[in-house]
Amino acid sequence: MQQDIFTMGVDIGSSASKCIIMKNGDAIVAKSLASVGAGTSGPEKAIAEVLSQFGGSLSQISWICATGYGRNSLKEANKEVSELSCHAKGAHFLFPGVKTVIDIGGQDVKALHMDGAGRLLNFVMNDKCAAGTGRFLDVMSRVLETKISDLAQEGAKSTKKVTISSTCTVFSESEVISHLANNETIPDVINGIHRSVASRIAGLAKRVGVEAPVVMTGGVASNFEVVRYVSEELNASIATSPLSQYNGAIGAAIYAFEAYRHQLEDDALTIGTSK
Ligand code: ADP
């Protein structure tokens, strides 16, 4: 009987570190998330937590692949893979046949156009601006003293349209403060923020050419109001998964499995030719 192969994918993002352990490249056996990203203790915390959930040690992991903004800093990694490649692979695993992936993380928005068979055809990314990203929502949630995980629920209580017209995070923050000073309610202001973010995201996604099936990944995919408004703007239904934020780490763990298998094949070839 063949022994199971365990691989690890670590996605070190700008605001969170995600870790996945997979068995034989096709089953998730452990996952962890530390809410701090690159340049912090986040990756170490995420690795320690995923290993404790796995109930084993690093020596049982055949190959580790790092991705994300902070991928170059992970000393445990056997290989680094670009975010785009990992997101494409992760999305095809979570949503087989997907053609458009909209990934919204803490610092960037990516729209990927895929061929339905897991290959990346084209992509578009936002510029350095935080508008339309998780960072924008993080700043607003602080101003509104509402937890990031409660934004969608609160925004859904809105009964009146409040417009956030500026796309700049700094100016939008002032706009939010002045709406609150004018006695607009928190749900109405949150709703305005969600619509503003969704319109930026949809604008970017349209540039890549949106083709169904469409999915949303990254931490912001947990915000069902943002998903709803992007879906309305694109006139397309959008699927999400409870594992959306782990998408890049899942892709990295699959890459790790493939890289390990290649290495085994190369080793077998070398042994074969040296005989
Ligand atoms: P990165 O890879 O850049 O660190 P992630 O894909 O991990 O980004 O997403 C992080 C963002 O997701 C945060 O900036 C935050 O805005 C958003 N987020 C995280 N958790 C939640 C949640 N429970 N509900 C809504 N949004 C969330």
Distance of CA 119 from the midpoint of ligand 1 (Å): 25
For residue range 10-33, what is the model confidence (pLDDT) as tens digits?
999 999 999 999 999 999 999 999
| Closest residue CA from atom 18 of ligand 1 | 219
CATH of domain 6-88+246-273: 3.30.420.40
Distance of CA 265 from the midpoint of ligand 1 (Å): 38
Please choose from 67, 223, 247 the residue to mutate so as to test ligand 1's pocket, defined by most ligand atoms within 8 A of CB: 223
Q: In terms of pLDDT, which residue wins out, 168 or 70?
A: 70
What CATH homologous superfamily does 96-240 map to? ATPase, nucleotide binding domain (3.30.420.40)
Q: Is 219 in the pocket of ligand 1 (CB under 6 A)?
A: yes
Q: Is 105 in the pocket of ligand 1 (CB under 6 A)?
A: yes
The segment(s) of the chain belonging to CATH 3.30.420.40 are: 6-88+246-273, 96-240
For residue range 81-120, what is the model confidence (pLDDT) as tens digits?
999 999 999 999 999 999 999 999 998 899 999 999 999 9
DSSP string, the chain: -PPP-EEEEEEE-SS-EEEEEEETTTEEEEEEEES--TTTTHHHHHHHHHHHHHTS-GGG-SEEEEESTTGGG-TT-SEE--HHHHHHHHHHHHSTT--EEEEE-SS-EEEEEE-SSS-EEEEEE--S--TTSHHHHHHHHHHTT--GGGHHHHHTT--S-------SHHHHHHHHHHHHHTT--HHHHHHHHHHHHHHHHHHHHHHH---SSEEEESGGGG-HHHHHHHHHHHTS-EE--TTGGGHHHHHHHHHHHHHHHHHHHHHHHHHHHH-
Q: Is 245 in the pocket of ligand 1 (CB under 6 A)?
A: yes
